[in-house]
Amino acid sequence: MDNRKLIFENGREFAGRSFGAPCEAVCEVVFNTSMVGYQEILSDPSYCAQMVNMTYPLIGNYGLTDEDYETRVPKIGGFIVREYNDKPSNYRYTRTLADVMRENNIPGIEGVDTRAITRMLRDEGSMRAILTERPREEALETLRATAVPHDQVACVSGKSVWFSRTANYRYNVVAVDCGIKLNIVRRLNKKGCNIIVVPYDTPAEAILGFKPDALFLSNGPGDPEDVRPVIELVRRLCGQLPIFGICLGHQMIALAFGAKTYKMKFGHRGGNHPVKELATGKVEITSQNHSFAVNPASLAGTGLHATHINLLDQTVEGLACPEKRVFSVQYHPESAPGPQDSDYLFDRFIATMEEGRRHA
């Protein structure tokens, strides 16, 4: 279909061609600067209810591979690309991007000026848009009437407990699924951890019943203040277990300790964000995907201190409370594909569990 259009709430309109599912969508539009990794972006649950504008101009050229999904049921709202390639050249590929999008009712639009969209979002901030074939005024009326979604974690979290075991394991970790990426589970398995993945609203008593060595809080979509069960869980288990949080998990730890979060103008999404560890001065190139950040002024008196900062805008990228054996990062050390600079954080998590055993 050549009559698809993307109409933003500021009135800007971009015409293009349809690929993926031929359905209508109303979503927040964000941009991602990664040059590769569209499969991981497609299947990252943190993109629930968001359409992603890809700044790299050619998407689809290496297909999708069975081993590379971050979740098996993608929840992304849609894809916006400059040029879609439906004839992949990659010996590993098993499906095309459009095939998987159609199967999961995910719409896409190609042939639009993705650079202009990126500049608009950078200047004016993330905003909602409707991907449609309907007349402009009718579409804008629908866009204005569609409510902003909340509590998206409930949409992406698993409904039951599942396990990911590894040979010669040393530790048992309970991972709270707020939209967990599978590569987090893979990385922890490789570090010698059996993983017990539980729904986001699992009570503290049920988690303690697994007798875990530590608690992990996953990434996920939406406003962290919506995820009250996990915030309360952190308050309940803080000091009883080592706790490590990534992305949304980082934000929920901040809220549990009494700090505040805020929505950023256009967020951080891409594979090339420089982050400085304050204790060592080391700079890491990181992969990121988030709309919210921790307010640094709100950390005073909480017991948390900032451990990492973003060198582009000085936002808080890491937190720690050593006395309670809690730490977190805003970025993604498990990123795939992506930089490997931050893998040491999983080793730090292991060391925290080992220390806990020595003092048990």
Nearest Cα to Cα of residue 293 among 265, 323, 332: 265
Q: Which of 40, 110, 284, 334 is catalytic?
A: 334
| Residue 23 annotated among the catalytic residues of the structure | no
Residues ≥6 apart with Cβ < 8 Å to 265: 125, 126
| Residue 247 annotated among the catalytic residues of the structure | yes
Contact of 21 with 11, CB cutoff 8 Å: no
Catalogue the long-range contacts made by 115-122 (C-beta closer than 8 Å, 24 or more residues apart): 115/55, 115/82, 116/14, 117/6, 117/14, 117/29, 117/31, 117/53, 117/80, 118/31, 118/53, 118/55, 120/8, 120/10, 120/12, 121/29, 121/30, 121/31, 121/53, 121/266, 122/31, 122/266
Classify residue 193 by burial, with Cβ atoms within 10 Å: 0-12, 13-18, 19+: buried
Q: Which of 250, 268, 273, 332 is catalytic?
A: 332
Q: Which two tokens stand for residue 30?
A: 């964000």
Q: Which of 178, 193, 238, 247 is catalytic?
A: 247
Residue count of the chain: 360
| Residue 317 annotated among the catalytic residues of the structure | no
Q: Which residues are catalytic?
A: 247, 332, 334
